[in-house]
Amino acid sequence: MNPNGLPELEFSDAYWRDPHTTLAALVADGARAAWIPEMGTTMLLRYEDVFRALTDRRLGAMGSRYYEQQGWSDGPYIEWIRRTSVFLDPPDHDRLRGLLNRAFTPRQVAKVKPITETIAATLAEAAAQRREVDLYSAFAQRLPLQVICQLLAIPCVDHEQVGTWTADLSLATGYPTEKGRLAVDRSMRCFEDYAGDLIRERRQRPGDDLLSALIAAEEAGDRLSSYELVAMIVQLLYAGHETTRNLIGNGLFALLENPDQLALLRRDRSHLERTVEEALRYEPPIIFLSRTVLEDVKLADAELLAGEMIHLSISSANRDADAFDAPNRFDITRERSRHLSFGFGDHFCVGASVARMEGRVAFDTLLDRFREIEFMGPTPRWATATALRTLESFPLRLTPA
């Protein structure tokens, strides 16, 4: 049933592989919102509507509602969703985020850049020895994963296993199959067992690391419970690298697809910060966000009822011609980019500044270390059935400088 008579958007391969073109056709016909039959939900398409929705208190966090509408209502992953701050509303969200902010002190954050630079240089050197690599496995995933693992003082021998678990969790971000759900739950169970062991060990032997700081974090006498700590560690390990992986990958893909912009950045690194912002706008790491309607409301020509789920299209908002000049052009000199890739309002990404820094370090390191960076084989394709904007693979041929 399409209660508002909106144009329909199928969650098909065509949408996942090219959300920009798919949604641009709807916007060109004057649509502000679309109906998704598979989900029984509405998606907002225009920048102004998405921006307002992100700050509208009549819309709450998605919680587990997104998955319940797909018939997935129990299991380790769903239970994790129900106690993780990014999926919660106030007051639980505010309390957990406040404790997290107290752990992310300037002293902790100051550690991040030199760690990132050292890891990036090491990974680039290893890639230079091989010459032919997959960007994700050789660099884009390893860099932010190793950074967050070091901040949490996770042993190096466990980094690869943590990366495997987080890759499985990514299967849940779009429209997962039954097989995908089983893989997600299996990895979540392992992840939580591992995090629980880490917490018990760090309680006995605290160190100078982010996990120890989280254990000690206190606000008005309210410490994180063991369940909340486990959920937060999984959240940090997952969200702390998966979207940054896509920022690096999507940004490099856009540069390779636009060689004039790549050449400009090579000549003038003062464009580095704008390159990161343009990469976030042009190919956002997450193509849509979800919210739960808390009370009956009308948004973008759609009458929504309390309890419904609504999706906010970041990909189409970031290419709205009313908000950006020449929105389909990748332009690293773009002066002002009010993109929505980190969300906005209460749920603005707590790690945005770290992700931006990691993106700048990544591009700077790759361009310093390699004279040529080229696709190896056909142009890679975008992955399907996931809200994470990522390529199926990213094979490269590298020529060291």
Q: Is 399 exposed, middle or buried (0-12, 13-18, 19+ CB in 10 A)?
A: exposed
CB 315 within 8 A of CB 343: no
Structure tokens at 118: 């050292």
CA gap 209, 212 in Å, rounded: 5
Examine residue 2 and state whether it is found in any structural domain, yes or no: no
pLDDT tens readout for residues 299-329: 998 999 999 999 999 999 999 999 999 999 9
Q: Give pLDDT, residue 175.
A: 74
Contacts of 230 (CB under 8 A, 6+ apart): 192, 195, 196, 199
Beta strands in 352-394 (DSSP E): 370-375
Examine residue 47 and state whether it is found in any structural domain, yes or no: yes
CA gap 322, 316 in Å, rounded: 11
The Cα diameter of the chain in Å comes to 62
Collapsing DSSP to helix, strand or coil, 390 comes out as coil
Structure tokens at 327: 């929105």
Structure tokens at 84: 């993780």
Examine residue 139 and state whether it is found in any structural domain, yes or no: yes
Examine residue 159 and state whether it is found in any structural domain, yes or no: yes
The size of the chain, in residues, is 401
Cβ–Cβ contacts within 10 Å for residue 365, how many? 21
pLDDT tens readout for residues 362-374: 999 999 999 999 9
Examine residue 1 and state whether it is found in any structural domain, yes or no: no
Report how far Cα 300 is from the mean position of its chain's Cα atoms: 25
Helix axes 142-151, 226-239, angle to 10 degrees: 150
Query: Number of folded domains in the chain?
Result: 1
Examine residue 377 and state whether it is found in any structural domain, yes or no: yes
Q: Which helix (DSSP H) or strand (DSSP E) does residue 127 occupy?
A: helix 112-130
Between residues 124 and 105, the one the model is more confident about: 124
Name the band, by pLDDT with cuts 50, 70 and 90, for residue 108: low
For the chain, report the end-to-end CA distance as a whole number of angstroms: 58
Average pLDDT, integer, range 119-141: 97
Is residue 32's pLDDT more than 80?
Answer: yes
CB 309 within 8 A of CB 39: yes
Examine residue 5 and state whether it is found in any structural domain, yes or no: no
Beta bridge partners of 44: 33, 312
CA gap 120, 139 in Å, rounded: 8
Collapsing DSSP to helix, strand or coil, 96 comes out as helix
Is residue 30's pLDDT more than 90?
Answer: yes
Examine residue 88 and state whether it is found in any structural domain, yes or no: yes
Supply the CATH number for residue 396's domain: 1.10.630.10
CA gap 60, 294 in Å, rounded: 6
Cβ–Cβ contacts within 10 Å for residue 200, how many? 10
CB 44 within 8 A of CB 23: no
State which residues form the domain around 256. 13-400
CA gap 161, 156 in Å, rounded: 10
Report how far Cα 60 is from the mean position of its chain's Cα atoms: 19
Mean pLDDT of the residues in the chain? 91
